[in-house]
Amino acid sequence: MTYVEDGFFLCIFGNIFFSRINYLKVTMIEGKDIKKTYGELQVLKGVDVSIEQGEVVSIVGASGAGKSTLLHILGTLDKADSGKLFIAGHRIETLSAKELAQFRNQNVGFVFQFHHLLPEFTALENICIPAYIAKKGVGDTEKRAMELLDLLGLKARASHKPAELSGGEQQRIAVARALINRPAVILADEPSGNLDSVSAKNLHQLFFDLRSELQQTFVIVTHNEELADMADRKLVMRDGVMV
């Protein structure tokens, strides 16, 4: 996808950006008239959403409003019944299953309420898994993982297994795992739902620190009003639509 303004251009290719100077806004995620039905229940009734590169956007609403369903579709974990979805300039519906899996691995990171760390592996090994799936070299991957552990204040915990880590530490390991492939987009579904108030506050601040350092785009589904209000924009869903 190419955007043009005042003679300048910017091309998005995967999560690599080639640009000429002075371009201000880049649309990272754009969904048009997204609909999703499970059985006879229409969960999404025509959702439009547009999110810029580097934004932190929260999505709030009552249980059953369609927040998590939308997030899973934006993350390519689920498919819409109809509508159009563009991520980093790619028309998602046109990708084959193999292309979609590769695109997701390289461009989208996920942080869930339940961190889903593998208990038999160390913190370092858990972080490296997405990079190994992408067939990246062991040496470079472990170096990148240690850099992330250092950035998140967990370098001393690299050899610890999940059972030896606190809830907040486990969730930060999950964040590092989401970042290992340098994705353009991070999607978080109730990321602080299982954390105490101090750990939740630290995690919330971490997202904004990462955005400042790495210029990644964050989309966060949450019931936590403090986190929602910290976002650059707060989107509200009700009964399967944005309101």
The pLDDT value given to residue 25: 67
The strands making up 2-5's β-sheet, listed across from edge to edge, are 2-5, 8-13, 16-19
Show contacts of 61-64: CB within 8 Å, 24+ apart.
61/236, 61/237, 61/238, 62/238
Confidence grade of residue 148 (pLDDT, cut at 50, 70, 90): confident
Which range has the top average pLDDT, 17-31, 45-59, 106-120? Answer: 45-59
Helix runs in the chain, H state only: 67-74, 97-107, 123-133, 138-151, 167-179, 197-214, 225-230
The pLDDT value given to residue 19: 40
Q: Which CATH number fits domain 55-80+96-242: 3.40.50.720, 3.40.50.300, 2.30.110.10, 3.30.300.30?
A: 3.40.50.300
What are the domain boundaries of the chain?
Answer: 55-80+96-242
